[in-house]
Every structure is written in C-alpha cells, then in structure tokens.
C-alpha cells in the first residue's frame, strides 16, 4: 500500500515539474515575443533653460528667490536700486505740472485785469508823449523866434518826444496782444512741449518697471548667480531658470530600427528612482541626418555605428525629471 502511494506521489511530482517547465518555457517565449515587439532606447533627460538678466545696469538691491524655488509666470525675482530713477521721475512730474499750467493759461486767454493794466499803461504813455511833444513844440517856437534855446536843448526835446511816442506805440501793441490773446503757434508749441514731457515720463516709468526682474514663465530656479550689492548689467546673468512646460528624453536609434518609429508615437519613459511608475510620452522629433553614437549611450557593438537622434517629449506634472538624468524609453511596435 505504501509503495503504491509513493508511486502516485512520484507521478504527481513528475507532472508538477513538467507543468512548471512548460509554464516557464511559455513565459520565456512570451517575454521573447514581447521584447521583439518593443524597442528599448537609452537616453538622458533634457529641459529648456532660460538665462535671466536685467535690461539696465545698476546695483542689485533685492534677491527674492533661492535655488530650487518654483516660480510662477510674472513673479518678481530680483530688484535693482531705483533711487536715481525715482528722483528723475519726480523731476519730470514737476515739469509736467508747470507746463500744464502754461498750456491752461494760454487756452484761457488774457485776464480782464491784465487788459485793464495794458489800457492804463497806454493812457500813461499817451499823456507822457503829449507832454513831451508840447515841450518840443514850445522850444521850437522859441528857437525860431528869438533863438532863446540852444540847438542841443532843441534836439533833446525832439528826442524825448520821439521816445515817448515810441512808448505809446509799444503800449498799443501790448494792449492789442492782450485783447487778441495768445497766438495759435504759441499754444501748439506749449502743447508739444507738454507731450514731450509726458513721453519722457512714460519712458522713465518703463525703465522703472525694468528694474524688476520677472519670471517669463513657470519654472524652477536652477542657479542664482548674483547677490545683493553686486553690479548687474544686460550681459551679466542673475538666474538660470528651467522651464516646466515640456521636458524630453534625448535618445538615439539605429538605422535598422528607424522605420519602426514615427512622430507622435506613444512611448513609456522609465527612470531608476521610479522603475514601476513609467511616464507617458510621445516621439516629437526624429533627426533627418545620422551621426556617430554619443559617448553617453555607446556600447561595444555600436561603437562605430551611425544613429539618429530622437526626442521623446514627456509631460512631467510631478516634476520628477531632472536635467541630465538617465532614462530608458520603451516603444511598443
């Protein structure tokens, strides 16, 4: 009885071993088929970077972010010293206020009080001219009759009368100018001067806005290159900003596999820290010309082979990809 049971157990064990071997072979076969239907590429993560610098040259006053900070589009990252620019802006505003008063005065015309003053000056000038003319005529009569005055006194009286008459003419012109009001040319010139000052104010306000360095779009501060007190200039970078809108894996494919892929094809991207959580991407660029295999991915059998660059674009919402990080790309064929 015991021998019979041992025989049955042996048969069962042999069957189990056979089933296990068969299952293993089937699994290996399936794995080989899956591998044959998947193109695996090795590459490195690449991101867009922006070098940020001030438009103007001045001393850095404030640095508001640190390396590794995530910043939003339009966020202020740093400021320059604006004391001199603020002084110029206040001066321009004062000039505008003065010029506005001049323009308003020209538009309002001459006040009635100023016209009355011009009329009184004309009357005074006429009275003085009449008196000077009378003195001249009397001295002329004396000179003609008995020569009781010298020629010098007569000439002085004549000159005085002519000068007083010139003052009358000048007072008349002043009264006419007051009655007619400012000329249109003077008004236009004053308005043009006011417009020029307004444009200068706008220019200074724009320059003041350029004394703040803002993020052009959402990203991560990778490098902080200046500190408060440093001198900034358009040629001196302040930050390096990695953009978060799109990242890609730069990989290379052999010419034999080039016909198996196409732009827009879906791919899975694996990184060492998340081997069980692949990122989804798609092929966005395939190079038109071949190149030698880069050192970062070359192997002994491909050392002299020509390959084509491929970029697999990835939406990295959790920001797990870093510049230069190695990655494995698997493309289902």
One domain for residues 177 and 284: no
Instruction: Quote the pLDDT of residue 298.
Output: 47
| 180-238 residue pLDDT tens | 666 778 888 888 999 999 999 999 999 999 999 999 988 889 899 999 999 999 999 99
Domain that holds residue 63: 50-81+211-240
* Residue with the two structure tokens 């820290």: 273
Distant-in-sequence, close-in-space partners of 308: CB < 8 Å, separation ≥ 6: 252, 253, 255, 258, 286, 287, 289, 290, 291
One domain for residues 75 and 219: yes
One domain for residues 323 and 255: yes
One domain for residues 67 and 43: no
Q: Does residue 310 sit within a domain?
A: yes
Q: Does residue 220 sit within a domain?
A: yes
Which run of H or E residues covers position 219?
A: strand 219-224
CATH code, domain with 326:
2.40.30.170
* Residue with the two structure tokens 């069980």: 276
One domain for residues 107 and 127: yes
Distant-in-sequence, close-in-space partners of 63: CB < 8 Å, separation ≥ 6: 77, 78, 224, 226, 227, 228, 238
CATH code, domain with 220:
2.40.50.100
Q: How many C-beta atoms lie closer than 10 Å to residue 306's C-beta?
A: 13
| 6-39 residue pLDDT tens | 666 666 777 777 777 766 666 665 555 545 578 8
Q: Does residue 20 sit within a domain?
A: no
One domain for residues 131 and 226: no
Tokens of 162: 């002519």
Q: Does residue 312 sit within a domain?
A: yes
Q: How many structural domains does the chain have?
A: 3
Q: Does residue 137 sit within a domain?
A: yes
One domain for residues 108 and 250: no
- Mean pLDDT score, 154-165: 82
- Mean pLDDT score, 139-144: 76
Instruction: Quote the pLDDT of residue 316.
Output: 82
For Cα atoms 89, 93, 98, give the angle at the middle one, nearest 5 degrees: 150
**pTM, entire model:** 0.57
Query: Long-range contact list for 282-288, CB < 8 A, 24+ apart?
Result: 282/312, 282/313, 283/310, 283/311, 283/312, 283/313, 283/331, 284/248, 284/311, 284/312, 284/313, 285/248, 285/309, 285/310, 285/311, 286/253, 286/258, 286/261, 286/262, 286/310
| 74 pLDDT above the threshold of 90 | yes
Q: Does residue 8 sit within a domain?
A: no
Specify whether the CB–CB gap between 255 and 306 falls below 8 A: yes
One domain for residues 236 and 255: no
What pLDDT band is residue 79 in, cutting at 50, 70 and 90?
Answer: very high
Burial (0-12, 13-18, 19+ Cβ within 10 Å), 328: middle
One domain for residues 74 and 220: yes
Q: Does residue 235 sit within a domain?
A: yes
Q: Does residue 23 sit within a domain?
A: no
One domain for residues 230 and 257: no
One domain for residues 104 and 145: yes
User: What stretches of the chain show up as alpha helix (H) in DSSP?
Assistant: 2-36, 83-108, 112-145, 151-180, 184-209
Specify whether the CB–CB gap between 263 and 286 falls below 8 A: yes
């Amino acid at each position: 009885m015991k021998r019979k049971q041992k025989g049955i157990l042996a048969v069962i064990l042999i069957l189990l071993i056979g089933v296990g071997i068969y299952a293993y072979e089937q699994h290996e076969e399936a794995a080989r088929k899956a591998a044959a239907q998947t193109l695996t590429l090795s590459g490195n993560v690449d991101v867009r970077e922006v070098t940020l610098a001030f438009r103007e040259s001045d001393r850095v006053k404030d640095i508001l972010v640190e390396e590794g900070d995530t910043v939003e589009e339009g966020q202020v990252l740093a400021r320059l010293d604006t004391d001199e620019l603020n002084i110029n802006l206040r001066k321009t505003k004062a000039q505008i206020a003065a010029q506005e008063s001049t323009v308003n005065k020209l538009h309002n015309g001459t006040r009635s009080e100023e016209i009355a003053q011009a009329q009184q000056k004309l009357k005074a000038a006429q009275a003085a001219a009449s008196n000077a003319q009378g003195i001249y005529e009397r001295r002329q009569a004396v000179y003609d009759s008995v020569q009781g005055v010298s020629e010098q006194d007569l000439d002085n009286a004549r000159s005085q009368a002519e000068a007083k008459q010139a003052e009358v003419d000048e007072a008349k012109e002043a009264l006419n100018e007051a009655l007619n009001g400012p000329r249109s040319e003077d008004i236009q010139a004053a308005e043009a001067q006011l417009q020029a000052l307004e444009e200068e104010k706008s220019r200074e306000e724009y320059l003041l806005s350029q004394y703040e360095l803002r993020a052009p779009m959402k990203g991560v501060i990778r490098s902080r290159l200046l500190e408060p007190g440093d001198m900034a200039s358009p040629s001196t970078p302040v930050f390096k900003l990695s953009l978060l809108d799109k990242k890609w894996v730069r990989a290379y494919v052999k010419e034999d596999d080039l016909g198996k892929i196409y732009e827009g094809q879906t791919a899975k991207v694996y990184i060492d820290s998340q081997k069980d959580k692949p990122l989804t991407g798609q092929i966005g660029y395939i190079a038109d010309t071949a190149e030698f295999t880069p050192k970062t991915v070359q192997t002994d059998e491909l050392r002299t082979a020509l390959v084509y660059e491929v970029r697999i674009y990835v939406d990295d919402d959790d920001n797990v990809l870093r510049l230069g990080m190695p990655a494995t790309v698997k493309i289902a064929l």
